[in-house]
Chains A and B, each alone.
Chain A
């Protein structure tokens, strides 16, 4: 809470009534003369043609799914097909108002939107641009196929065929598809036309679209961003979080006015009245009309409107008006676009939730037939011309679909090798993602760096005595220095999270950044973990570097989809067309009980597509964050609250003032030994070092201590070498034992060093309990005692030793049987 905004009790307690704006419902009135003046005749005819094309495109898929053939072309499509037959006017109408610089993001039912946006872009781009895009994208693979089909009259008709082919090929999982088949039906997209990722998670596009809109606002890029999501998605938490996040007051009260206000985002609900079968209006929601939701969000009611999505010109009109508002910084906006799908949710849909007569009633309102009648009635076309268009459309689709199902013309990716593995990470390094000068409020040397750089860099003096912590650079300050460095290098870098500004983050790692950075580069978010990560995903996909923060690791659950499905997946799902320069800082708690003290690094290490770092010393904290902040991959960066106020005590160089990076995936040896190897993740390192001291002093054993530092990627070679040397390995971390990443490490080390082992690799995690109160820490977290006990019971009985805890092999099965 910034000091510049005062909460006045007199104001807060004053009686008043909230008055809300009115929400227009289907207010558009068709005026054929005005419409003829607004759009050319050709443009109006194109609307009809585009709708026809979308319907035929979807019909072919419907036929393949249900009958195994379309117009004599047999094909078994194994993947999903969530069709939008009936929703064509909503898609095509929207794109009448958009330019290529405007982005749309969609849902699992977005084939129509993709085609509409693509067809619009093809009309808007120069022919040379089109040719270059087709030539460059995926090495021109799709272009080669399409060129072989026909002599197209011009570049635009070639590009149209190419768009349809690229989409089909993607849906059919072909290497010639827009994303080499890695996206498929529910994730097809094509950034050069402003078609950004569609999302198979309901509502998944809401916060990602907002992140892209923030990118446009913060980096002064043209255009608006539209989240095309379904009416049922309004009930999901991340969508609500995105609505609120998009409507924050600070864009107007605190951010530089010159930036232009709120992020330009339109939440466009394609309201077909059903989820899969559940029906928000009348059944699963209470808002009656979805447009009403805008009233809950801000004083402008999000400029919400219900629009007749069966009239493409009504949709175009509304979209155009919202776009103007958004560009003027007066967003966010909400449209409740009334539409209807004749097709089922998917081919298995028996329409048990709606009557046949309802579908027939909507067919009677069919938008394509209705718009055809409109064209004829106003002299833009005659029925023969419309019939001709239908014939041409079918011919085009038949020709293209034949090529798209042909395995010779359109092969699948050879996934037997490591082709998909090669897409999981981009592994690039980028000092800055844009060339302009970074916006800051003070010179770097005048920032808090002046203070931290003047401190001792190593925690012990020449005599080996500890230095005062306040006079020595700490783990938190090492984080600060890495952040500051990249803020002054990369103008696109932004950081945000709860209490990030003013407070400097709950643990003070960002202390000093508030003074150094303008609001739009460091800001406080609502308590919306899903949107915090989702917005960062969108910001990164749009081309900026984002550093969101989760105050406690335990809050990752609130951002589960965004971390597991969004942050982790888009690089590979785009076949590397997109980058994800996103570092999610996650703080692992302590002493705060069961919901604030968990180490969940194992959970993210399980998810393909994430890099997982966990530094345990200030030197590593700065060097590893430097590494993460120069990469182009999603990194979950764990920090331990046990360490924030700790100075460097292990690396004799201390924390270098200058820039440096740690080699990715390389474990760090902290103590050399010959009898036993202790490998740790996170702050457990210090307890392992204590155990090593005691093994030496009390038992005459020489223990080697290694900090893994990285969970993924991880170079096992030094771990295996050590295991081969000592033959006895104990792994320890604060994560609870069951399913811990340590078991993956133990399994790998066992396989790589089996013949050298003197006993099974032992794993010491926290107990499979709730984290008890701080006073009972010792019973829960791994301790030096626990490590020595486990060594005694599992690896090397120590003569005369009396263990304090039960670490016997028998306890493994007893605890497993009890489920604890």
Chain B
């Protein structure tokens, strides 16, 4: 029984391939696995092997011909067998001038539903879902009208665990943030490497900049264009911070100290450290440096409308409790939208804390004309060599960005060093 050799489907997006050359002539004997011909797709050149044993009875396509996938290419069988049944039938419509109306009953050929034989009927929505979740929908039974595979069939398959997916890839797919690459060969096991981040649909929608966002956009760009920013990273022993914070939290409510946060302690430490580093508490504008006597601490606050930086005036003269109260008041005013424009001006140094969001270190962007901004990261355990052993000690991340035009690296590093020291003994600093 003669057998057709077909143009294999070499991926989801491959619709056809070009026959490059034949390696076996008609009449030659072939065995399954023998190289029969080479093809070229838009992506690669591939060698196609015979899937049958016998004699090559016919080459149905010439070299250089573009052939749709799944079409018959060659016939292998016993010598002398007819190949008439294998002629490629790629033309799905009658020729234009062929009269199709003369329907003398029997003479009218039944339309061939070419889809039913090989193509699975599936809705675009179900196909997309299957693609994203790595389901081989060829194997899924459709429950839609006429047996069409619809969304619920893929969902059912998912529940059955139909996809051959590694546990890590499955977790990534389940997160909704990843999807399978469109050209992933159907049925092949899906691993992490096969996944791509989901294109953010919201990115397709556009929102013209307006109001505050426009201001932020301009200031951020100006900042990076007009200054030479250098970020130094360090971390400080956070044990004292944590201990002291626990004590404050446990203190009697009447004292008004139980609301003081780690960030408040940070602000306090900065306000007490900065006076020793006048180079960092300065403004630089039009090639002139203006050292600032007072510490006007700007505090980065995240709001629904965007980033705001209200200013705690004369932070150096405030007690810890006053500083905490003022920081809280300003942050709340920003979030409520009641902040006064004057309260957003005049900072001499900025503190931005992303620690609560788990950020370990980052590169804060300067708020010109200020020349320094301190980014505060999360508290993480850090191995520290101690007495010949390694101890895991909580450390808080510190990232200082300076305007390298006017502040050198060394004084900046010394500031970080001093700040780290002050943080390590924050309780004593408060007592001074």
Contact = CB atoms under 8 A, between A and B. Distances in A.
A793 B123 contact: no
A755, A759, A809: most-surrounded residue (chain B CB, <10 A): A759
Contacts of A757: 123-125
B145 A797 contact: yes
B144 interface: yes
A794 interface: yes
A758 B151 contact: yes
Contacts of A756: 124-125, 128
A758 B145 contact: no
Interface residues of B, number: 13
Interface size class of chain A, counting residues whose CB lies under 8 Å from the partner chain: 10 to 19
B123 A758 contact: yes
Contacts of B164: none
Contacts of B148: 759
Interface string A745-770: 00000000011111100000000000
A755 B150 contact: no
A727 B143 contact: no
A532 interface: no
A755 B125 contact: yes
A758 B126 contact: yes
Interface in B123-146: 123-126, 128, 143-146
A166 to B, nearest CB: 41
Contacts of B143: 797
A797 B151 CA distance: 12
Nearest to B154: A758
Nearest to B201: A724
Interface in A767-820: 793-797, 808-809
Interface in B108-125: 123-125
A758 B150 contact: yes
The secondary structure that dominates the B interface is helix
A793, A794, A797, A809: most-surrounded residue (chain B CB, <10 A): A797
B145 A809 contact: yes
A555 B146 CA distance: 43
B75 to A, nearest CB: 38
A754 B124 contact: yes
Nearest to A810: B146
Interface in B298-339: none
A808 B126 CA distance: 21
Contacts of A797: 143-145
A793 B146 CA distance: 9
Contacts of B125: 727, 755-758
A793 B128 CA distance: 23
B128 A796 contact: no
Contacts of A809: 145-146
A793 B145 CA distance: 6
Contacts of B124: 754-758
Interface in A683-734: 727
A696 B16 CA distance: 46
B146 A796 contact: no
Contacts of B126: 758
Interface string A138-164: 000000000000000000000000000
B126 to A, nearest CB: 6
A104 to B, nearest CB: 50
Contacts of B128: 755-756
Nearest to B122: A758
Contacts of A808: 145
A809 B147 CA distance: 13
Contacts of B123: 727, 757-759
A391 to B, nearest CB: 63
Nearest to A795: B145
Interface in A169-201: none
A723 to B, nearest CB: 10
A375 to B, nearest CB: 70
A794 B145 CA distance: 6
Interface in A542-566: none
A534 B4 CA distance: 73
Nearest to B128: A755
A727, A756, A796, A809: most-surrounded residue (chain B CB, <10 A): A727
B345 to A, nearest CB: 40
B125, B144, B146, B152: most-surrounded residue (chain A CB, <10 A): B125
Interface in B196-222: none
A727 B151 contact: yes
A808 B124 CA distance: 20
A817 to B, nearest CB: 13
A809 B148 CA distance: 13
Interface string A30-42: 0000000000000
Contact of B145 (A727, A754, A755, A759): A759
A320 to B, nearest CB: 63
A299 B83 CA distance: 95
A808 B128 CA distance: 26
Nearest to A727: B125
A783 B144 CA distance: 23
A76 to B, nearest CB: 36
B127 to A, nearest CB: 9
Nearest to B147: A797
Contacts of B152: 796
B147 to A, nearest CB: 10
Contacts of B151: 727, 758
B144 A758 contact: yes
A756 B128 CA distance: 8
A754, A758, A794, A797: most-surrounded residue (chain B CB, <10 A): A758
Interface in B374-392: none
Interface in B178-207: none
A794 to B, nearest CB: 6
B366 to A, nearest CB: 41
A796 B123 CA distance: 12
Interface string B406-419: 00000000000000
B146 A759 contact: no
A800 to B, nearest CB: 13
A795 B126 CA distance: 13
Nearest to B143: A797
A758 B142 CA distance: 12
A787 B168 CA distance: 44
A20 B146 CA distance: 76
Contact of B150 (A754, A793, A796): A796
A452 to B, nearest CB: 42
Nearest to B127: A755
Contacts of B146: 809
A809 B145 CA distance: 9
B137 to A, nearest CB: 13
A756 B201 CA distance: 13
Interface in B143-169: 143-146, 148, 150-152
A758 B151 CA distance: 6
Nearest to B150: A758
B132 to A, nearest CB: 12
Contacts of A793: 145
A358 to B, nearest CB: 51
Contacts of A727: 123, 125, 151
A808 B146 CA distance: 10
29 contacts: A727-B123, A727-B125, A727-B151, A755-B124, A755-B125, A755-B128, A756-B125, A756-B128, A757-B123, A758-B123, A758-B124, A758-B125, A758-B144, A758-B150, A759-B144, A759-B145, A759-B148, A759-B150, A794-B145, A795-B144, A795-B145, A796-B144, A796-B150, A796-B152, A797-B143, A797-B144, A797-B145, A808-B145, A809-B146
Given A758-B123, A796-B152, 16 more contacts: A727-B151, A754-B124, A755-B124, A757-B123, A757-B125, A758-B126, A758-B151, A759-B123, A759-B150, A793-B145, A795-B145, A796-B144, A797-B144, A797-B145, A808-B145, A809-B145
- 7 closest A-B pairs (Cβ-Cβ)? A758-B125, A727-B125, A758-B123, A758-B151, A758-B150, A755-B124, A756-B125
Interface of B: 123-126, 128, 143-146, 148, 150-152
